[in-house]
Every structure is written in C-alpha cells, then in structure tokens.
Structure 1
Amino acid sequence: MTENTDNTRRFKIVLIEPQIPPNTGNVSRTCVATGSELHVVGKTGFSFSERAVRRAGLDYWKNLIFEQHADVDAYMERIRDRRFWLFTTKTDTPYHLTAYRPGDFLIFGSETAGIRRDILERYPDRCRTLPMNRAHVRSLNLSNTVSIVLRELLDIGGNKFWLIFNFENGKLLYVMITSDEEGPKAKMEQDYDGLRIALTEKYGRPKYCSDEGCVWSNAGTIITLAYRSDEEGDYHVNLVYGNYDAMVKQIEEDKRKMEEAL
C-alpha cells in the first residue's frame, strides 16, 4: 500500500468497523480510482490478509493510500477539529446540499449497525444522508453508498454558492455571491431575467421551470436558480448542486407552502 503523505487535497473515506470483506475491497478500489484515502477504524469483521478483500481490490492494493486505526473514539477525537461528515440513515439532511472540500473526512458506519448513536448525537450538524425510497429500502450497500457520494462530490468539485438578491420596486439592484465560509465575493448589477439568460447561455435550456425559478442540468451538475423573500424583505436565490429529482421536489414543495400561506 502507498504511504500516506497527508495530502490535504484528497477526500478521506473513513469506514468505521466494516464487517464484510468485499465491501471494503470495493471501496479500496474506488479510492484508488479517485485518488482518495481509505481509513479503516475500529474492529473489523475480517483480516486484511483475507482473499475476499484483496480479490475485490484486485491488484490495486499497492496503490492504495491507507490508514488503519484501532480505536473509534480516539480517531474521532483526533479529527474533531477537521472537516468531517457522518453518513447515516438517522438524519433527514440530504448530502448534496453541503459544500464539501477536498480533504474532508467522509465517514461511513458498518454494514450491520451504521455509525454509533452517541457519535451521531455528539455531532448532529455533521450528519448527512442519501435521499431514497425508505418505504421499501432501509439503506444502500456500503460500497455503493461510498461510490455514489464520492463520484458526485468529484463531479461538483465541492462547490455551493448562495446568491442574495436585493430588489427595490421589483428591480434587482445587485447580487451578492457568497460561499459557506468565505463571505461576500462579488456584486453585480443585473436583473433576474438577465441572470437567467446568462445561465441559459452557459448551460442550455432549463430542464424545469416554475414561478420561483429554474433548474439546469449539465454534465452531471444540477444548478437551481430560485428566488424568494425573507422576513427582512430581501430576495434570496440559491445556486446549489445536487440530485435533479430531489431539487424539483424541493421547488414544488416550496411552491406548495407558498400557496398554502396565501
């Protein structure tokens, strides 16, 4: 296995107490393919010398950036001041509405028990989930979940922006572009239609439009442009990345709530 050079630009895939050898083998292969690190934490249900693990990883093991840690609590204490996210079915917060960064720790629990409840309760703001039809499926396979999350994060580059639109007498005065932690980055004078036209020129015809905004899809990236007023009278426009169906449902839900409030 490749020595860990602590490259902060790599995503860290963390498996807590994995139990099924082929799952860890498949995750290791995904990590090599995406240039990510694999951290295995706590007691596993197998030995890394087992043929099932290496068969799933084929001949990629020598290129895997790998760490193994014996104690779950010690590991969580070690990374508590780092950017980490806990993937679990015990939350309603969709994973695709978070601004991830290369170097983040993406933590997944065991196939049988998930992440311990006390850890989830200690960091509720770090919990994320994959939206799915839970009426028939409780969760996805561990290696499939890692692949879905990591592939989409690599597609979107971890970007999310919030655009605050200020209106006066129905005319847009300026747009203030912010990211989660960087604060205001730019202002531009442009009306809403102008911004919509600019996005259409860049990404093509919207896939979906409602009275509140539009949705574009381009090369796996979903962009929404939607505006609404808050209690202070400012109009907020979200430019976010995520699953198309989930985004359309969110816009429809917002529209329904607005109609009910009238």
Structure 2
Amino acid sequence: MRIALFQPGIPQNVGAAIRLSACFGVGLDVIEPCSFPLDDKSLKRAALDYGPLAHLQRHDNWETFLKAPERTEGRLLLFTTRGATPFHRFEFQAGDTLLFGNESRGAPEEVHEAVQGRIVIPIRADTRSMNLATTAAMALGEALRQTGGFPE
C-alpha cells in the first residue's frame, strides 16, 4: 500500500502524510513540482520527528513517477471529487497506490486518464472539499481495514 501526492501545495499536508507513512508503514510518493521548497529543512519542520520512519520517495514529475519501480505493483487509484465509486464501497488490494491531487487544482486530465480507479469520499452537498491530509487518512484507514494491513 502506498500514498501518492500529486504536486502538493501545503507543506503541513506533506508533513501529515509523512506521519501517516511512518505510523502505518506504507510508502509515500511526492510528485513534484511542489508549491513550496521540498528540502530537508521544510520536511523536518512539517513532519516533526517522523521523517526517518517514513518511506518517502520523491519524483521530479508525473512521468518519472509512472516509471518508478514502486509503480510496477498494484493499481493506481485517484481520490477525486469526480470519483465514480464511494471509498467505502470500493474493494482495495494490498498493492494499491492511493493518489491525491493538488489541494487547490486537483489532478489534471492526464492523471485521470492514467489511473485504474477514481474514488470519491462522499461529503455533504453544501460543502466543497475536505483537507488533503484528512482525506488521505480516511482513505488509507479504509484500505488498510479491508486488506488487513494495520500494524500488529
């Protein structure tokens, strides 16, 4: 199981994803460019002391991410407000990569076309979206529950 962030725009969300990666032992892919400098100093500040425990891979761009060895296993699943299947009805598999778009722009059409599934977390009609880190935590929790992937 992996989490992937497409061109994230908020360092605190990357920090929260680093903590998710560390706490649950899942891989984390950050697909650049980011809207902030993704250097060791900013990562340490955002991730607190969890950075060394995370399984972080940085990718220069979308094409590099798609060619990475980590991508040879499992499906690429995009969480999007344009998703077709609610996350609680989707059947996750242990090798899945859970992909999340940029906080303000989402994911471009080329990303939508490359994925094997588009998933939505249903929210009230009078709201627009949830925080990226919250969405990633909910999605990962459901995926790990279904696949028996929680740490012992």
Coarse TM-score class (shorter-chain normalised): 0.7 to 0.9
Match of 1:101 among 93, 97, 102: 93
For 1:34 and 1:139, the matched residues in 2 are separated by 25
TM-superposition CA deviations, 1:118-170 (whole Å, max 9, x none):
321454x51111011132x2111000100111112222326xxxxxxxxxxxx
Q: Is 1:63 aligned to 2:53, yes or no? A: yes
Return 5+ residue gaps in structure 1 as ranges. Answer: 1-10, 159-262
1:101: Cα distance to partner?
A: 1.7
Equivalent residue, structure 2, for 1:132: 123
Return 5+ residue gaps in structure 2 as ranges. Answer: none
Structure with the higher helix share, 1 or 2? 2
**Structure possessing the higher relative contact order (Cα contacts under 8 Å, 6 or more residues apart):** 2
8 Å CA contact retained: 1:29, 1:56: no
Matched residue type, 1:113: R
For 1:94 and 1:85, the matched residues in 2 are separated by 12
Give the structure-2-normalised TM-score: 0.85
Matched residue pairs, number?
146
Structure showing greater radius of gyration is 1
Change (3 A) 1:45 1:83: same
Change (3 A) 1:81 1:150: closer
8 Å CA contact retained: 1:18, 1:45: yes
Match of 1:15 among 5, 13, 16: 5
Matched residue type, 1:90: R
1:90: Cα distance to partner?
A: 1.2
For 1:93 and 1:51, the matched residues in 2 are separated by 38
For 2:143 and 2:114, the matched residues in 1 are separated by 25
Equivalent residue, structure 1, for 2:18: 28
Change (3 A) 1:22 1:33: same
1:74: Cα distance to partner?
A: 3.6
Equivalent residue, structure 1, for 2:112: 120
For 1:76 and 1:90, the matched residues in 2 are separated by 22
Give the structure-1-normalised TM-score: 0.51
Matched residue type, 2:76: F
Equivalent residue, structure 2, for 1:84: 76
Change (3 A) 1:53 1:81: closer
For 2:111 and 2:147, the matched residues in 1 are separated by 27
Change (3 A) 1:38 1:119: same
For 1:74 and 1:56, the matched residues in 2 are separated by 24
CA RMSD of aligned residues (A): 2.1
For 2:65 and 2:48, the matched residues in 1 are separated by 28
Matched residue type, 1:96: H
Matched residue type, 2:46: A
8 Å CA contact retained: 1:16, 1:108: yes
Q: Is 1:42 aligned to 2:19, yes or no? A: no
Q: Is 1:72 aligned to 2:62, yes or no? A: yes
Change (3 A) 1:57 1:122: closer
SS state at 1:59 partner: coil
Q: Could you list the structure 1 runs, at least 4 aligned residues long, displaced by more than 6 angstroms after superposition.
A: none
Structure with the higher strand share, 1 or 2? 1
